[in-house]
Amino acid sequence: MSDTLIRGAPSWRASISAYAAPSLLSSATNLATSVVPYLALMAAIFMLLRTAPLLAAALMLPAAGFLVRTFIVFHDCTHGSFLPSKRANRLLGGVLGVLLFTPFAKWGHEHARHHASAGDLGRRGAGDVHTLTVAEYRALTPRGRFAYRASRNPFVMLTVGPVWAMVVQPRFPGGESRTRLRRSIIATDVALAALIAALCLVVGWQQYLLVQGPVTVLAGAAGIWLFYVQHQFEDVYWERSEDWSFEDAALRGTSYLRLPRVLRFFSGNIGLHHVHHLSARIPNYRLQRAHDENAIFHDVPQLTWREGMRTFRLKLWDEERGRLVGFHEARGRS
């Protein structure tokens, strides 16, 4: 991709600004095809669990898909891109955050840091997948290497990862010093506790766990994979802070994940991640049009879902080669 396209900030900002205005009709359609079917399917699963357990189990997969789609609506709200009003985005995002086990303000703050630092080797750790350089990995103790290998293991990422990221980690304010973010966490926890208690009274705690557990893990695994693959491909962009560029990080450090139509629907077009990172104010239902109508997006890294699955072999950033490599390649340079 030419430097003219990447660094022509006035040009690209003007050309894509028209896509950043939310449409109430499109937003309402998004809600009607995400949150509504998710809640309807969950109600159906609870009702069918005793009389038709196999059918109930079969419905968990589409329920997880609609939960992922619901998360994309929540995600747009954190960027203030889903509804015209900032207050409306906060209110809707806060409600959806309870369904998603995710504090709205806290997650939005961390995600904004991710957008501001993705691809910057000096600012890793802000809402991204933990990634070490080859040199950093070699400097670890054996215990440190084991822990890092475990964190990058696909099985751990897609099973333990969703439980940690959605259920456990968001529950605690920890060392968060900002009052607004602490309140977001506490308010979400209180609302979530009330919702779970009510559901357990109605359906029983065993039935609640039997339904909510698999749906949450399935949706979380899909979300982690989507996020992972869009920042963890072989020729991804990483630079030291002094050489880092926001435009380069958006257009070279995120992938265009070309998914089948049904997966594009359930993932809310988040596969057009390069568009989203260049302008987070574009709502999910306008990402495809923005991509199609602007040449700046036509020469970005592209991956199919099969190629995306193969990115799990990539573990470390090789600064000398300027690409992600597997552990075996890192050993080969010892």
pLDDT of residue 330: 75
pLDDT at 8 exceeding the cut of 60: no
Residue 67's pLDDT is what? 98
Asked if 286 contacts 19 with a C-beta cutoff of 8 angstroms, the reply is: yes
Cα 245 to Cα 239: distance, rounded to the nearest angstrom: 8
Residue 126, pLDDT score? 74
* Residues 6+ away with beta carbon under 8 Å from 147: none
**pLDDT value at residue 253:** 93
Q: How far apart are CA 166 and CA 199, in angstroms?
A: 19
Mean pLDDT (whole number) for 313-326: 94
DSSP 51: T
205: enclosing H helix or E strand: helix 205-229
pLDDT at 202 over 90: yes
Q: Which of 266, 238, 275 is nearest to 117 (CA)?
A: 238
pLDDT band at 175 (very low <50, low <70, confident <90, very high): low
Per-residue model confidence (pLDDT) at position 56: 97
Q: Which residue has the tokens 């660094």?
A: 7
Neighbouring C-alpha atoms within 13 Å toward the C-beta of 147: 7
Closest CA to 72 of 43, 102, 46: 102
pLDDT, position 97: 97
Please name the residues in contact with 312: beta carbons below 8 A apart, sequence gap of 6 or more: 154, 228
- What's the pLDDT at 332? 56
Element (H, E) at 317: strand 316-318
Give the model's confidence band at 16: pLDDT under 50 very low, under 70 low, under 90 confident, else very high. Answer: confident
Tokens of residue 148, six digits: 């890092």
- Max avg pLDDT among 14-23, 214-223, 298-307: 214-223
Percent of the chain with pLDDT over 90: 84
Contact, 120 vs 239, CB < 8 A?
A: yes
β-partners of residue 306 are none
Of 4-8, 102-106, 132-136, 245-249, the poorest mean pLDDT is in 4-8
pLDDT over threshold 50, residue 227:
yes
Closest CA to 318 of 299, 297, 307, 333: 333
Give the DSSP H or E segment for 318: strand 316-318
> Considering the entire predicted model, what is its pTM?
0.92
Angle made by CA atoms 171, 89, 39, in degrees to the nearest 5 = 65
Q: Is the pLDDT of residue 35 over 80?
A: yes
Are the CB atoms for 244 and 119 separated by under 8 Å? yes
Neighbours of 332 (CB within 10 A): 9
Q: Indicate the pairing of strand 316-318 with strand 323-325.
A: antiparallel
Contact 277/112 with Cβ under 8 angstroms? no
Task: Please list the alpha-helical segments (H only) found in 79-178.
Answer: 86-99, 104-117, 134-138, 142-151, 154-162
pLDDT at 177 over 70: no
For residue 9, pLDDT over 60 is answered with no
Position 62 scores a pLDDT of 98
> Is the model's pLDDT at 334 over the cut of 70?
no
DSSP state of 168: I
Given a cut of 90, whether residue 4 has pLDDT beyond it is no
